[in-house]
Structure 1
Amino acid sequence: MQLKTIRQSLFVGVSILSFAAIGCTEQRNFETVAPTPAATSQTNSVSDLAQATPSPTTEAPTRQPDVVYVPTPVPVVNEMLRLANVQANDVVYDLGSGDGRIVIAAAQKVGARGIGIDINPERIREANENAKKAGVTDRVEFRQQDLFQTDFSEATVVTLYLLPELNVKLRPKLLSELKPGTRIVSHEFDMGDWKPEQVVKVGERTVYYWVVPETPPANLKK
C-alpha cells in the first residue's frame, strides 16, 4: 500500500513537471512567432512611408562623400567668378560647396543668388554659419544632397572642384539639364574630351571655363 502511494505521488509530480515544460515551450514559441501577413504589410508600409518622407531635420549623409574636402583658395574663387562673369541676375550653383565660400562670395560681390550642394552635413552647417556671418542668408541656400540626384537646371553658372573622373561622370547631366549659354567653371580639373573655352592659371592652380552649347556633341553626353 505504501509503495502504491509513492508511485502515485511520483506520477503526479512527473505530470506537473511535464505540464510546466509544455507551458514554457509554448511561451517561447509565442515570443518567436513570425508576424502575420497583415502585420508584415503594416510594418512595411510604415517603413516605406518613413523612407519616402524623410524628416527635414535628418542630417545623415545619403552616402559617403566622393572627395575629401579641400577649400578653394580665395584668389581662385575670385578668378572663377570673374571668368564666369557672374552678375546680380545670375543663379550660381556650387557643386560640392564645402564651407560655402564661392556662393557667399558671389552674393557679397555682385548680389547673385547662390545654391550650394554638398552631401556632408558638417559642411552644410559650416556654410550656413558662414552665410550668417557674411550677412547673405537672404541670397544663398545650402542643400544636403547628392550631386547626381540634384536638379540644378535653374543655374546660370555652375562651379565645381571635384575630381577628373567625377567631372566626366557629371558631364552628361550638366549638358542635359543646363540651358544653353550656362557657364561652367571648374577649379583644377577638366572634363575629359570636352574642350574648355578658356584655361586660366592662378599661381599654381588652374581654372577651366565652358559654356553649354545649343546642341552638345553626342560623344559628350555619354
Structure 2
Amino acid sequence: MNVPSKLGRSIAGVGIVGLVVAGAIHLPSSNTPQVDRVASLFGNRAIAQPQLDVPYVPTPTAVVNAMLRLGNVKKNDVLYDLGSGDGRIAITAAQKFGTRGVGIDIDPQRVKEANQNAQTAGVTDRVEFRQQDLFTTDLSKATIVTLYLLPEINLKLRPRLLSQLKPGTRIVSHAFDMGDWKPQKVVQVAGATIYYWTVPPKVSKKS
C-alpha cells in the first residue's frame, strides 16, 4: 500500500517543511509561495517526488498468503499487484505457484526495493516492477489483480478494472471494498478483511 496529500492537515504541530524533508508529503509542482520557499531551502529534490495517493503499509505475510488462496492463484496466472510496495505479493505468488507477476507503484523507492527483493528471492524471471500511475497503466493482460489501497482509490479504479479486465478476471482487495459492487467472498484473516470479486461478462449496448 503506497500518504495522501491531505495527511498534512491531520498532523498537528508539524510544519510543511518538516513533512517534506521526512518524506511524509509531496508538494504540488505548481508555483506557490510554499513550494518556492521549500525549494529555496532544500533544492528541487524537495518537490521532485511523485504524488502518492496512499501511504505505504506492508501487507502482513498471513494476509498475503490468504489473498493468494482466496484468488485461487495458479501457475498460468498473470498477477497485477496495484500499489505493489516492496513486491511481496507478486514475489510470494511466483515463489509458491510459479505465477508471473507485474507490480505497479508510483514511488521509485518502492519499485527499487521490490526489484531488489525479487532478485534476492530468485524470481526475476517471473516478476517485474514498474514505476507507473495506476490510472494510466494497461491492466488488460491480468488474470488476477490484487489491491491494498484506500476506499476512494478503489472506487476511482473500479471503472478501469471493469472496462479493461477480461470477464472472469479475479480481484482481491485487502481491507477495502468497492462501494456498491458487492464482493462474492469476504474473509477475515489475522484481524484483516479480504474481499473477492470476479469481473462479470461484458454487457452489450443496444443500438
TM bracket (short chain): 0.7 to 0.9
Structure 2: which amino acid aligns with 1:133?
T
Would the alpha carbon gap of residues 188 and 61 (structure 1) be closer, same or farther in structure 2, given more than 3 Å must change? farther
Deviation at 1:204, TM superposition (A): 1.2
Deviation at 1:63, TM superposition (A): 3.2
* 8 Å Cα contact 1:186-1:209 kept in structure 2: yes
What TM-score, normalized by structure 1, do the two folds share?
A: 0.69
Distance in 1 of aligned mates of 2:203 and 2:174: 22
* 8 Å Cα contact 1:96-1:162 kept in structure 2: yes
Deviation at 1:203, TM superposition (A): 2.2
Would the alpha carbon gap of residues 61 and 78 (structure 1) be closer, same or farther in structure 2, given more than 3 Å must change? farther
Deviation at 1:217, TM superposition (A): 11
Does 1:123 find its partner at 2:110?
A: yes
Percent of pairs with identical residues: 70
Does 1:178 find its partner at 2:165?
A: yes
Q: Which has the larger radius of gyration?
A: 1
Aligned residue pairs, count? 159
Does 1:98 find its partner at 2:85?
A: yes
Deviation at 1:215, TM superposition (A): 3.1
Deviation at 1:187, TM superposition (A): 0.1
Give the match for residue 204 of structure 1: 191
Q: CA RMSD in A?
A: 1.7
Does 1:215 find its partner at 2:181?
A: no
More helix per residue: 1 or 2?
1
* 8 Å Cα contact 1:175-1:216 kept in structure 2: no
Structure 1 residue runs of 5 or longer lacking an equivalent are 1-59
Alignment of 1:64-79 (within 5 A): 64-79=51-66
Q: Secondary structure at the match of 1:208?
A: strand
Structure 2 residue runs of 5 or longer lacking an equivalent are 1-46
